[in-house]
Chains A and B, each alone.
Chain A
Amino acid sequence: MLDKLEFMLAETFISLRRNTWMTFAAVTTSAMALFIIGAIAFAYISLAKFAGDVEKKFEMRVFVKESATEDDVKNLELRLNGMDGVSSVTFKTRKEVWDEFKKNNPSVTQGLEIENPMPDTFTLKFENLGKADAIAELIKKMPEVAPNDGVNYLSDEQNFVGHAMSALRWLGGVLGTVMLLTGGILIYNTIRLTILARRKEIRIMEMVGSTKAMVWAPMIMEGIVQGLIGGLLATVVLGAVYAFTLRLITIINPLSQNSPFPLGLTIFWLSFVGALYGLICSFIAIREPKKKEIPR
């Protein structure tokens, strides 16, 4: 068994060496495809995590108009609590808000002798961020709410995250598919070239009674090795790009918290996907000559 495996591996590496440039092209294209898919997956996961964090922290502030009475405030609180999609409503008087602001921003308020400019404020949290825009519109129309800037929330940030995720999905899908197709065609072509280059060996093997597995397995293994090397190469490039990006972020924001590059997981997934892809492409490539007799 080990003897057979050794023979097949030797045949695989002879083929890889024989078609050096074609192998190089197939490996680098597969690596590029896997790198793009990997990078976009990374960006997408990071963005999804960021979006999750934003969602958790997401708050809407509703400022009560200056002329509102105590009854108006109670009435507003009841109506806000009854709104669909709102998970919690907390109230702070204008004094509490001002005290908190002064505590958080002493450099701004120190020595400032002005009248409290803060309004009574409700803080809303949501069960579903998707409804935030609709709720904001409803609240703005309520008479107890301050006109103009009565509702304050991070709608722009939320929209940006949503758009970025959607763009990444498209970009990943299109670029990844194009690159995967190119890599696949190159692997397919390499295997076809191998079959052509090895037609004499294949003929001899068939003549002396080699099993189909013995004849064709080296070509399948060649595809797998190409995909595997592509996956490993993509991991190296991805790791380097990740490290570089991290350095840039640290320079811009020294206090930013970043998670380390998940090396093991990336190696596993990119190699696995690469090898699987190589297997599929080489299998398709050998199917045709297997159906027909090799021209003698």
Chain B
Amino acid sequence: MSEPKPFITFERVEVAYNDLVSGLRNVSLNISEGEFVFLCGQTGSGKSTLLKVLSKQVPVTKGRVIVAGRDLGTVTDKEVPYLRRQMGIIPQDFGLLSTKKVWENVAYAMRAVGKSRREVRSEVPRILERVNILHRADAYPSELSGGEQQRVAIARALINDPPLLLADEPTGNLDPGHSKEILDLLVSLNEKGTTVLVATHDMLSIQDHHKRMIQMSFGQIESDVSVEGVVQEIPHEEPEPEEEMQEQTQEESTDAGQA
């Protein structure tokens, strides 16, 4: 039996912010449909860049990224909004509008993608119910706990019913109890078929969930641990002499930056 086609493919992807600073360096990986993947690593390891590449917030310098059979390099500026409707983005800072109630935050996002008032009226309660926050629909964000605010952000990410969720440090601002609650919610959404990518450095929370874990460091994949716990060390190809020189410069500059 042949393996199913991957849902997301990174082929030797490089992202350079400028001549000295790289976001991603020669990243190759495959993610299947319905998979749950943790992207781990320290700040600046490239996990957020990887998510931003998927939502076309950051352009690829080299290589190819394919999502649902579509090469992102062929996606035009006009098509980007439609691409983003295929994925739900969950930011670390929740990104909620403080002057709007919970239901209004979700409704606003729906109206912004062109949904009618009728659609908003019928779908908002359903979405809030899905993330278990319907009982706080009339509360303002300031009246919610961090975990509840993140639930609202997840609800907003679900407005287009996307097959892919990208969560950038969703537990970064939460205590361990709320972190577990949010990760459990993401796992439950994954169990219903949504592919979920979570960038995090919260190793404690990850350990409770037996999911694929990609360890990143300095823009490269260090290791890829499957659900079964099989560790796949990623060999880094020897760069060409010219590239070697450049990378050394980059490392030196990074070291200097860290120092």
Contact = CB atoms under 8 A, between A and B. Distances in A.
> A and B: real partners?
yes
B159 interface: yes
A131 interface: no
B85 A207 contact: no
Given A206-B84, A207-B84, A210-B81, A3 B116 contact: yes
A207 B113 contact: no
Interface in B152-189: 156-157, 159-160
16 contacts: A3-B115, A204-B97, A204-B108, A204-B109, A204-B156, A207-B55, A207-B84, A208-B84, A208-B160, A209-B81, A209-B83, A209-B84, A209-B160, A210-B81, A210-B114, A214-B114
Contacts of A4: 114
A201 interface: yes
Interface of A: 3-4, 7, 200-201, 203-212, 214-215, 293
Contacts of B84: 206-209
A200 B95 contact: yes
Listed from nearest, the 7 A-B pairs whose CB atoms lie closest are A209-B85, A209-B84, A210-B112, A209-B81, A3-B116, A205-B112, A208-B109
B17 interface: no
A207 B81 contact: no
A207 B55 CA distance: 9
B4 to A, nearest CB: 27
B81 A200 contact: no
Nearest to A18: B99
Interface of B: 55, 57, 77-78, 81-85, 89, 91, 95, 97, 108-109, 111-117, 156-157, 159-160
Consensus secondary structure, chain A interface: helix
Given A4-B114, A203-B95, A208 B82 contact: no
Nearest to A293: B57
A108 to B, nearest CB: 82
B112 A3 contact: no
Contacts of B109: 204-205, 208
Interface centre among A3, A206, A209, A210 (most CB of B within 10 A): A209
A215 B89 CA distance: 17
Contacts of A201: 97, 108
B57 to A, nearest CB: 7
B52 to A, nearest CB: 10
A208 B85 contact: yes
A207 to B, nearest CB: 5
Contacts of B116: 3
Interface centre among B111, B156, B157 (most CB of A within 10 A): B111
Given A207-B84, A208-B156, A210-B81, A3 B114 contact: yes
B95 A208 contact: no
Contacts of A210: 81, 112-114
Given A3-B117, A293-B57, A208 B159 contact: yes
Given A7-B111, A208-B84, A208-B113, 11 more contacts: A3-B115, A3-B116, A7-B112, A201-B97, A204-B95, A204-B112, A206-B84, A207-B55, A208-B85, A208-B156, A209-B83
Contacts of A208: 84-85, 89, 109, 112-113, 156-157, 159-160
Contacts of B117: 3
A201 B115 CA distance: 17
Contacts of A204: 95, 97, 108-109, 112, 156
A210 B55 CA distance: 13
A212 to B, nearest CB: 7
Contact of A207 (B83, B95, B114, B115): B95
A46 B188 CA distance: 78
